[in-house]
Amino acid sequence: MALALQFQQIFLSPTRFCSQSKSTNPLFSLKLPPTPSIHPLAFALNAAISNINASAEEALLPAPLRRELMPNHVAVIMDGNRRWAKMRGLPVALGYEAGFRAVGNLIELCGDWGIRILTLYAFSSDNWFRPKVEVDFLMGLFERGLKNELEHFARAGIRISIIGDSSKLPKSLQNLIDKVVKTTKENSRLHVVVAVNYSGQHDVVQACQSIAQKVKDGIIEPKDISSFLVEQELQTNCIDFPCPDLLIRTSGELRLSNFLLWQLAYAELFFTHSHWPDFGEAEFLEALCSFQQRQRRYGTQSS
């Protein structure tokens, strides 16, 4: 335990979820009038500021990425935290800690690169069957992370939502989740959706139950049930783009593990052998470049 603590102090010093947000620089949000000002000097000045504005926006995106092809919504299965720890002879808890830091880096990159929604699979409804000490550690990590970063989320324009059945979580975590969700709900730079005690099958089942109830109550008729209506009833209805454009799964497993089963119908998939704690900027860039080279046809047109 002492060794673990020492490692934590040396290698896992607390980092902020997001560093100083580049997009909060007033230059980036400066709105210029659509028509040139009357005085030529003012016009030249406006044009110069406009160029700074444009180049600054572009500078946030690494060279191979094209802004118009960026995914709106990225979902991630953060697999391999325990394997990462075991490979290094470390306690599992340190794998989760390192995974948590990788989350912070990814949130920062998504904010900087203009991704609108990031959905993270933090705890599946099957994860309760893990050793109690591990589950307790994860619950503590979620609580500590949310508490420490709340102020920072608020400042960095990050909105937090939770999907899954949070009624089974420790009461203190439930209360904190309510507070974080309320405090950040007006933020619009990046929407981070954390799936905790989540099951994709259960999400579809609860949507069916809700629709069945509406039919029973005479609010709708069976013929009114459509894909659109089902989507409204899924837990991801809290976000602007409910269906992810890109799913990333780390650690070499090629499966969905009950994550966003309906919502991933047309997502592009990116799998990597890296364990989640090792997933950083270079690999995220690779995933996005791969995404930008895909032809998304939604089963309709030929190429």
Ligand X SMILES: CC(C)=CCC/C(C)=C/CC/C(C)=C/COP(=O)(O)OP(=O)(O)O
For residues 13 and 7, what is the distance between their CA atoms, to the nearest angstrom? 9
For residues 118 and 111, what is the distance between their CA atoms, to the nearest angstrom? 10
For residues 175 and 303, what is the distance between their CA atoms, to the nearest angstrom? 50
Q: Which stretch, 81-89, 176-184, 266-274, 293-301, contacts ligand X (CB under 6 A)?
A: 81-89
Residues between 89 and 118 that touch ligand X (CB under 6 A): 96, 99-100, 103
In the annotation, is 278 catalytic?
no
Q: Tell me if 53 sits within 8 A of 32, measured CB to CB.
A: yes
Q: Which stretch, 80-88, 202-210, 241-249, 258-266, contacts ligand X (CB under 6 A)?
A: 80-88
Is residue 80 part of the contact set for ligand X (CB under 6 A)? yes
Helix, coil or strand: residue 161: strand
Is residue 166 part of the contact set for ligand X (CB under 6 A)? no
Is residue 53 part of the contact set for ligand X (CB under 6 A)? no
Q: Measuring CA to CA, which residue among 65, 119, 80, 87 is closest to residue 259?
A: 119
Is residue 279 part of the contact set for ligand X (CB under 6 A)? no
25 or 148: whose CB is closer to ligand X? 148
Cα–Cα–Cα angle for 218, 223, 227, nearest 5°? 110
117 or 207: whose CB is closer to ligand X? 117
Taking the complex as a whole, the smallest distance from the CB of residue 278 to ligand X amounts, in Å, to 12
Question: At what angle are helices 92-112 and 132-156 packed, to 10 degrees?
Answer: 20
Beta strands in 199-299 (DSSP E): 246-249, 268-271
Cα–Cα–Cα angle for 91, 15, 125, nearest 5°? 55
Is residue 194 part of the contact set for ligand X (CB under 6 A)? yes
Residues between 250 and 269 that touch ligand X (CB under 6 A): 251
Is residue 161 part of the contact set for ligand X (CB under 6 A)? no
Taking the complex as a whole, the smallest distance from the CB of residue 43 to ligand X amounts, in Å, to 48
99 or 244: whose CB is closer to ligand X? 99
Is residue 79 part of the contact set for ligand X (CB under 6 A)? yes
For residues 266 and 287, what is the distance between their CA atoms, to the nearest angstrom? 16
Residue closest to ligand X when measured from CB atoms: 99
Q: Measuring CA to CA, which residue among 209, 197, 213, 256 is closest to residue 234?
A: 209
Could you identify the residue written with the tokens 């089942």? 205
Is residue 82 part of the contact set for ligand X (CB under 6 A)? yes
The one catalytic residue in 79, 112, 203, 245 is 79
Interface with ligand X (CB under 6 A): 78-83, 96, 99-100, 103, 120, 122-123, 127, 141-142, 145, 194, 251, 276
